[in-house]
Structures are given as C-alpha cells and as structure tokens.
Amino acid sequence: MGRISRNGIRSIMNKALTACDLKHPGYSCHVFRHSCGTNLYKETKDLRLVQDTLRHRDPKVTARYAHVVDRLDKRYTAKLVPHE
C-alpha cells in the first residue's frame, strides 16, 4: 500500500465528521491541524515545538497559536468550573 493522498485524508476525515454529526460548512480536516497546534502550545508553551510539528517555515504563523491560547486564557469564562 502506498502513501495516502491529501484528497484521501480529506475524504476519510469528512466521512468521520459526517458520521459524528460534526460536518458543517467551513469545517474540514484542517480544523484538526489547528486543534493540534493550539493544544500542543497550551500544554508545552513551546512555539518552536509547535513550529516543527506543523512544519511552519515562518515563526510568525506559529505565533498565532500563542495569541489564541493567551486570548482564551484571559476570557472571564475561563475560570468558571462546571459544578457536578
């Protein structure tokens, strides 16, 4: 078996999103890439690691993940904890 193409990955992910009722306009498998970058930075605070993982050439692109995480952490609702 050879390498899977981008279209193959896209097809597989779209089927999975549809099966989970998560496929909506504007959602694609690329959303998982953003989730990976955001969560990796949130856990490690290491932009270089995120840059290497996502294979970004320009560190400015990777810096967006730090901005997103910092903005999410500063939300007033970030400190709310659901009661059980």
39 within domain boundaries: yes
* 60-70 residue pLDDT tens: 989 988 888 88
**Looking at the chain, how many residues does it have?**
84
Tokens 């549809």 locate to 18
pTM as predicted: 0.64
43 within domain boundaries: yes
Task: State how many domains the chain has.
Answer: 1
Instruction: Name the token pair of 59.
Output: 């560190």
* 35-62 residue pLDDT tens: 889 999 999 999 999 999 999 999 998 9
Query: By the 8 A CB rule, do 27 and 17 touch?
Result: yes
Structural domain containing residue 39? 6-77
83 within domain boundaries: no
Closest CA to 40 of 18, 25, 55: 55
